[in-house]
Amino acid sequence: MLCKRIIPCLDVKDGRVVKGTNFINLIDAGSPVELAERYSKEGADELVFLDITASSEKRKTLVELVKDVAKAIRIPFTVGGGISELSDIELLLKAGADKVSLNSSIVKNPELITKASRQFGSQAVVAAIDVKYNGTEYKVYIKGGREETDLIGMEWCKRVAELGAGEILLTSMDRDGTKEGYDLKFLKELSSVVSVPVIASGGAGKKEDFLSAFKDANVDACLAASLFHFNILPIKDLKYYLKENNVAVRI
C-alpha cells in the first residue's frame, strides 16, 4: 500500500537554511546538508528546498546546494524558488534533484509545465500553488504571496494537472504560520477533482492536523516547516501517531 508522506520544507537563502516568520526576522539555521541528513535519519519521506535568495548568483548557489544534498541523502527531494527556464530545470535535475517546484513562472507561462513534463517526465514537475480566500472565492497569488492574480484556485489546480504537472503542492496563505490546521475544505475538494497527488501545506500546528489532512481531506502528503525545525513535533512521534490511527506511513 502506498504510504502517506511527511515532507519537511527548508527555506534557503544564499546557500544556508534560514528560519523566520513570513520571510521576516530570518535567522541562520545551519547547513542545508546537515539538516537534510538529520531529517532523513528522523524518517522524513522527502524534502523540499525553497530558495529565497534574491541575488544574481542564485542559480549557481542553488545548483551547488543540490549537488551537495544529493550526495548526502538517499531520499528524494524537490527544489523550488524562482525557477523559470527549462535550462534551469535541466541543470537542477542533472545536479541530483528529483523534482522541481514551479510557482510564479507557470502562471506567466503555463506551457512551461507541458514542456518540462515532456522532457523530464511529469513525476519531476511539481506545481506549487498559493491560494487565499477573499470571502467569496480562493484566488491564486504569486511572487511569494505578494501579488494577486485573476486565477481561481480550484480552476488553476485542474489546469496545471491537465498541462502535465505530476503533483500539486497547495499552500493556504490564510493558514500559513497560524498553526490552526490545514485548509481541509479546499484540500478535500482538490483531492477529489484532480488525479495527481496532492501535498498539503500551510497551517500544521499539531499531529491531529496531519491526521485530518490524510483522513478527512484525503491528501497524499503533508508539508510543514517550523514544527519540524524547532522540534516541536519530532517526525518519528508524528509517524507513530499516524500509524496508531491507521494511516499507512513508512517507519
Tell me if 1 contacts other proteins by CB under 8 A: yes
Tell me if 234 contacts other proteins by CB under 8 A: no
Does the annotation count 176 as an active-site position?
Answer: no
What distance in Å separates the CA atoms of residue 129 and residue 100, rounded to the nearest whole number? 13
Taking Cα atoms as reference points, which of 116, 120, 138 lies closest to residue 129? 138
Q: What is the C-alpha end-to-end distance of the chain, expressed in Å? A: 14
Strand partners, 19: 27
Smallest separation, CB 182 to other proteins (Å): 18
Which residue among 51, 88, 98, 209 contacts other proteins (CB under 8 A)? 98
Residue 81 grid coordinates: 524558488
Catalytic residue among 51, 88, 98, 130: 130
Tell me if 45 contacts other proteins by CB under 8 A: yes
* Of 61 and 218, CB closest to other proteins: 218
Tell me if 221 contacts other proteins by CB under 8 A: yes
Residues 46-65 that bind other proteins (CB under 8 A): 46
Tell me if 88 contacts other proteins by CB under 8 A: no
CA distances from 82 to 43, 124, 165, 205, 225 (A): 28, 16, 17, 27, 19
Tell me if 183 contacts other proteins by CB under 8 A: no
**Quick check: 148 and 80 in contact, CB under 8 A?**
no
Tell me if 220 contacts other proteins by CB under 8 A: yes
3-state class (DSSP) for residue 42:
helix
What distance in Å separates the CA atoms of residue 22 and residue 25, rounded to the nearest whole number? 8
Does the annotation count 51 as an active-site position?
Answer: no
Cβ contacts of 111 within 8 Å, gap of 6 or more: 163
Which residues are identified as catalytic?
11, 130
Residue ranges that bind other proteins, judged by CB under 8 A:
1-5, 40, 45-46, 67, 70-71, 74-76, 93-98, 118-124, 166-167, 195-197, 220-221, 250
